[in-house]
């Protein structure tokens, strides 16, 4: 498997990549007015969010050109309030001094609250972006909610704490590569399925078949439960993993796992035009996909290169952190799973299910 990391403005670098050559794009661009990455030509600190959307979509025009007809494109994008105090969507563990010094929050704050919207409005950046992407020819397939069970608490008193971000799934053609992904079926659904009426021989939802009745055309029937589980749903609960080295906006490896498994064939090429510390590249290495990463900051490119090259086998199946040779899950993931599934038998079944349904460990 090959990994290539290019330092530079992704718009320029994308222009050098041939048409129809990339299988999958998995990325998280800088969010509007949230951070200062401290480098010329960075995206995200435009005075007007419409300029930001235009710049971003110009980059995604190039992404569309380099993507194969069968390609898929996954974009994680956060929102912000149009208020001078907004830190609610930040996904880091920095204290306020560090925030001001290291991520330039004052500079980012100065862009908001300038009368483009009434103060306190949610800016709706992700949806403004998605609509402009549609206008430019992309097909918008799914809104995935990345639910963060360990989100930062906020001190707001007149609204709810936001504990999710969006992951948008786009394609450029009606037909595209997609490997169906599964999740465990809830016990309650299995029980309910016994009482559902099926037409004789009909194919049920999730690809399961009703057991034909003795005679009648219809009966209250049993059905086989698909051992793989059910088609994966759109709310994904993934814990944030906090600050990694010198990069302060790292997304969790788990967020990339499903998109890459679903949207890129083995041996295919994944591109991340805003690769930061190289998380997408690490997941590609685990899943036997080639990787091209771009970041405007050469320092981040170095971090990405060393993180990817240092990555060794035997990482936690769920979050990807390195483990001792004989372990499959890290302690944190085990704790989260235990609290989610207090029943011992169910807990063991779920762990086994994850072992059976991941290519990590066995194939890397």
Ligand X SMILES: C[S@@+](CC[C@H](N)C(=O)[O-])C[C@H]1O[C@@H](n2cnc3c(N)ncnc32)[C@H](O)[C@@H]1O
Tell me, residue by residue from 298 to 317, as one string, x for binding to ligand X by CB under 6 A and - for no binding.
Answer: --x-----------------
- Please choose, out of 118-126, 199-207, 217-225, 273-281, the segment that lies near ligand X by the rule CB under 6 A: 273-281
Q: What angle (nearest 5°) sits at the alpha carbon of residue 26, between those of residues 258 and 82?
A: 110
Exactly one of 30, 71, 126, 221 binds ligand X (CB under 6 A); which one?
30
Between 198 and 311, whose beta carbon lies closer to ligand X? 311
Name residues whose C-beta falls within 8 Å of residue 29's C-beta, 6 or more positions apart in sequence. Answer: 43, 44, 56, 59, 75, 77, 273, 274
Q: Does 254 bind ligand X (CB under 6 A)?
A: no
Q: Please list, residue by residue across 53-66, b when 16 or more beta carbons sit within 10 angstroms of its beta carbon and e when fewer do.
A: bebbbebbebbbbb
Report how far residue 100's alpha carbon sits from residue 54's, in angstroms, rounded to the nearest whole number: 27
CB of 188 vs ligand X, minimal distance in Å: 36
Closest CA to 129 of 178, 165, 154, 174: 165
Closest CA to 144 of 75, 205, 67: 75
Between 103 and 351, whose beta carbon lies closer to ligand X? 103
Tokens, residue 169: 């799934």
Exactly one of 99, 112, 223, 247 binds ligand X (CB under 6 A); which one?
247
CB of 126 vs ligand X, minimal distance in Å: 13
- Please choose, out of 34-42, 107-115, 124-132, 336-344, the segment that lies near ligand X by the rule CB under 6 A: 34-42
Numbers of helices and strands, H then E, in the chain: 11, 12
Contact by Cβ (8 Å): 161, 117: no
CB of 274 vs ligand X, minimal distance in Å: 3
Q: Does 28 bind ligand X (CB under 6 A)?
A: yes
CB-closest chain residue to ligand X: 276
CB of 289 vs ligand X, minimal distance in Å: 16
- Please choose, out of 46-54, 157-165, 185-193, 246-254, the segment that lies near ligand X by the rule CB under 6 A: 246-254
Exactly one of 279, 308, 316, 330 binds ligand X (CB under 6 A); which one?
279
Beta-strand runs (E) in 135-277: 139-147, 164-171, 182-183, 197-199, 218-220, 230-231, 235-237, 269-272
Q: Return the DSSP state at 120.
A: T
Binding site for ligand X (CB under 6 A): 9-10, 28, 30, 37, 41-43, 247, 249-251, 274, 276-277, 279, 294-297, 300
């Amino acid at each position: 498997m090959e990994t290539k990391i290019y330092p530079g403005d992704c718009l320029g670098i994308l222009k050098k990549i041939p048409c129809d050559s990339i299988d999958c794009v998995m990325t998280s661009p800088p969010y509007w007015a949230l951070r200062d990455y401290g480098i010329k030509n960075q995206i995200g600190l435009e005075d007007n969010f419409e300029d930001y959307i235009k710049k971003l979509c110009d980059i995604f025009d190039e992404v569309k050109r380099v993507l194969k007809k069968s390609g898929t494109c996954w974009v994680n994008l956060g929102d912000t309030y149009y208020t001078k105090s907004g830190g609610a969507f930040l996904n880091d563990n920095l204290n306020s001094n560090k925030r001001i010094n290291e991520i330039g929050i004052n500079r980012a704050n100065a862009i908001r609250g300038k009368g483009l919207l009434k103060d306190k409005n949610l800016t709706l950046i992700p949806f403004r972006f998605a609509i402009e992407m549609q206008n430019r020819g992309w097909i918008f397939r799914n809104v995935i909610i990345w639910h963060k069970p360990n989100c930062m608490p906020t001190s707001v008193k007149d609204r709810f704490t936001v504990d999710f971000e969006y992951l948008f799934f786009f394609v450029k053609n009606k037909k595209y590569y997609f490997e169906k992904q599964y999740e465990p079926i809830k016990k309650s659904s299995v029980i309910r399925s016994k009482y559902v009426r099926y037409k004789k021989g009909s194919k049920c939802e999730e690809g399961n078949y009703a057991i034909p009745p003795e005679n009648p055309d219809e009966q209250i029937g049993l059905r086989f439960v698909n051992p793989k589980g059910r088609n994966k749903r759109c709310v994904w609960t993934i814990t944030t993993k906090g600050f990694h080295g010198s990069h302060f906006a790292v997304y969790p490896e788990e967020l990339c796992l499903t998109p890459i498994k679903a949207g890129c064939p083995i041996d295919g090429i994944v591109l991340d035009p805003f690769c930061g510390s190289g998380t997408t590249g690490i997941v590609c290495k685990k899943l036997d996909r080639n990787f091209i990463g771009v970041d405007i900051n050469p320092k981040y490119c170095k971090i990405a290169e060393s993180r990817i090259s240092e990555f060794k086998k035997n990482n936690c199946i769920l979050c990807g952190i390195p483990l001792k040779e004989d372990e499959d899950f890290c302690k944190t993931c085990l704790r989260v799973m235990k609290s989610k599934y207090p029943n011992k038998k169910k807990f063991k079944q779920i762990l086994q299910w994850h072992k059976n349904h991941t290519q990590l460990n066995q194939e890397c």
